[in-house]
């Protein structure tokens, strides 16, 4: 089993590198951002609540997102894989604590946290570039800057949290997608 958290600011390449990691290590992908966007698209009650937060560049409340994660884990789709990649979760210390408990209840744990480190001007550039094509309501400059503030205030403390556990692996997220993937693989293969 290989359970990985892919961690980083908005636009750091979490989704992009997750796609490659899933294939290479036969992992089951859980992206809380994708789950929320799917709910928004389908007009569910959860989607209606989530949209208000996402459009403001804020995080969806912990209780909601932890429930969603528990549901996705219990759908058992992960059973056919060799582990799970958590993309965009956890984003707060309470989410990290809940994840630890959820995994412990299932007899497993997080093995490594891959932290994609990218300078802020590059993050904004990537988000705006994607916004030209994605139609994502949060890929505009005003919301992107709010998302970065939210990241600094609520999510970045997780780096120290996982460093203390000896699980954090810093990866330079600037460069070509393939070169970054090689760095991640080198780091995980030494596990």
Q: Which residues are near ligand B4P by CB under 6 A? A: 10-16, 32-33, 36, 53-54, 58-60, 65, 88-89, 91, 95, 126, 130, 138, 147, 177, 180
Closer CB to ligand B4P, 26 or 172, in the complex: 172
Name which of 2 and 174 has its Cβ closer to ligand B4P: 174
- Angstrom CA distances, 150 to 53, 56, 65, 185, stand at 11, 10, 16, 29
Question: Could you say which of 20, 125, 136, 145 is catalytic?
Answer: 136
Active site residue 91: yes
Is the N-terminal amide bond of 189 cis, ω within 30° of 0?
A: no
Q: How far is the CB of 73 from ligand B4P (least distance, A)?
A: 14
Q: Which residue is nearest to ligand B4P (CB)?
A: 33
- Active site (annotated) includes residue 130: yes
Element (H, E) at 4: strand 4-8
**Nearest to residue 182, comparing CAs of 122, 114, 135?**
114
Instruction: Closer to ligand B4P by CB, 91 or 167: give it.
Output: 91
Q: Which of 107, 58, 60, 101 is nearest to 79 (CA)?
A: 107
Q: Which residues does the annotation mark as catalytic?
A: 14, 91, 130, 136, 147
């Amino acid at each position: 089993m290989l359970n990985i958290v892919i961690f980083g600011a908005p636009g750091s390449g979490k989704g992009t590198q997750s796609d490659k990691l899933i294939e290479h290590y036969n992992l089951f992908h859980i992206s809380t951002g994708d789950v929320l966007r799917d709910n928004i698209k389908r007009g569910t009650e959860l989607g209606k609540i989530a949209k208000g937060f996402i459009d403001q560049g804020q995080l969806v409340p912990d209780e909601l997102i932890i429930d969603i994660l528990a549901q996705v884990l219990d759908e058992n789709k992960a059973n056919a894989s060799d582990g799970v990649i958590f993309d965009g979760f956890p984003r707060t210390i309470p989410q990290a604590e809940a994840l630890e408990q959820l995994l412990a209840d299932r007899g497993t744990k997080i093995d490594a946290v891959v932290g994609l480190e990218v300078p802020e001007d590059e993050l904004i550039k990537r988000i705006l570039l994607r916004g030209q094509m994605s139609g994502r309501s949060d890929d505009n400059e005003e919301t992107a800057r709010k998302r970065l503030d939210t990241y600094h205030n609520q999510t970045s403390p997780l780096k120290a949290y996982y460093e203390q556990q000896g699980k954090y692996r810093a990866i330079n997220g600037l460069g070509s997608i393939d070169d970054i993937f090689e760095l991640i693989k080198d780091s995980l293969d030494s596990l």
